[in-house]
Amino acid sequence: MDNLTHSFAGALLAQMGLKKLSGRATSTLVIAANIPDIDAVATLLGTQSLAIRRGITHGPIALATLPLLLTGLILLWNRWRPAKEPVRPLPLLLCAYIGTLSHPALDWLNSYGIRLLEPFSSTWYAGDTLFIIDLWIWITLIGCWVWSRHREKRGADWQRPAWIGFTAIAAYIVANGLITRQAEALGHGAVRTMVYVRPLESLNRASYRPYVQKARAEPTITPDLVVANPQPLTFWRRKVLWRGQGQFGTLDFDAAREWNGIIFEDSGVPTHLDHPALAAARGRPDVEAFLFWSRMPIVIERDGVTYLADQRFNSGLTRGQFLVPLTSRP
């Protein structure tokens, strides 16, 4: 997730009551919630950073040691600039661990991926539950934090708004997880049977009914991978991406209109992973880093240039964000 989300997640945890454990607890929680992203310095390497980000600093060794280092630094800072409240090392360390562990928990929820077991395993894990920047979570986190702080200044129960926000976000995440699982299940079935499900002419919810039409004579495709990609703002929708037998395609799922319906946006398109330009570029650091990170690599052409791309980030707001040129502009 983005660092604003991580920061306010740490701040909300503090308002839930954790800041009562020790002085400097709030700052520790906010910093800890962001500290695994110290690997962001790798972005200076460009595309090669894809092989570094969300890896070692998000794995078990870092998650065990970073809170210890952070607590030590906070204690040193407190000796120079003492806090108004007493600083208790062990409760402060507990806050550091809680804040740090909240980071990979949130990062796992989007489709970018995270290597939770690095350096013991370089496997990428992705929950495909939330878009990487979720406005609704922003509103809930910031709104409940402001509400809590306002009540705290008035001497009222300030922990309750924070707990309400935490509960609402947890329910929101569970609901989005269910939407993703349903979209993926429908995607698998739809691609295997090559079935179109389309709405009737009216988009009125009361009259909307899916109908099934056998639409093509191509052989049935067994998908190797189906990913239900969360969408910005419209959390009830998913771009269902599939690939199999050297092809890829997109389906559209809208839980608000039809829980059991799915719409084909396009038929199978070749992934072109056998493209000569890709074969010639193998061994290049940027290409190898991209392929190490990419769950759904494809080769595309735009304006006469051949690119290595990722199917997850090839449409909408993310279109063009992750591209590696394989050929030069003519």
pLDDT at 191: 78
Helix H or strand E segment including 254 = strand 247-254
pLDDT for residue 267: 66
pTM for the structure as a whole: 0.86
For residue 31, give Cα distances in angstroms to 56, 83, 115, 138.
18, 16, 21, 18
- Token readout for 190 is 């739809």
pLDDT confidence of residue 291: 95
pLDDT given at position 257: 84
The answer to whether the CB of 295 falls within 8 A of the CB of 312 is: yes
What percent of the chain shows pLDDT beyond 90?
Answer: 69
Q: Can you tell me the distance from the alpha carbon of 164 to that of 171, in angstroms, rounded to the nearest whole number?
A: 11
> Quick check: 146 and 85 in contact, CB under 8 A?
no
- CA separation for the pair 114, 103 (Å, rounded): 11
Q: In this model, does residue 199 exceed pLDDT 70? A: no
Q: In the structure, what pLDDT confidence band is assigned to residue 8 with cuts at 50, 70 and 90?
A: very high
The pLDDT of residue 208 is: 35
- The mean pLDDT of the chain is 88
Kindly state the helix (H) or strand (E) to which residue 307 belongs, with its residue range.
strand 305-310
Mean pLDDT across 246-265: 82
Residue 265: pLDDT band (50, 70, 90) is: low
The whole-number pLDDT of residue 329 equals 78
Domains of the chain, by residue range, sit at 3-127, 193-269, 271-325
Confidence of residue 43 (pLDDT cuts 50, 70, 90): confident
Task: Indicate if the pLDDT at residue 77 is higher than 60.
Answer: yes
* 133: region left, alpha or beta (phi > 0 left; psi from -120 to 50 alpha): beta
182-186, 202-206, 226-230, 260-264, range with the lowest pLDDT: 202-206
In tens, the pLDDT along 144-177 reads 999 999 999 999 999 999 999 999 999 999 999 9
Per-residue pLDDT tens over the stretch 285-319: 999 999 999 999 999 998 889 999 999 988 766 77
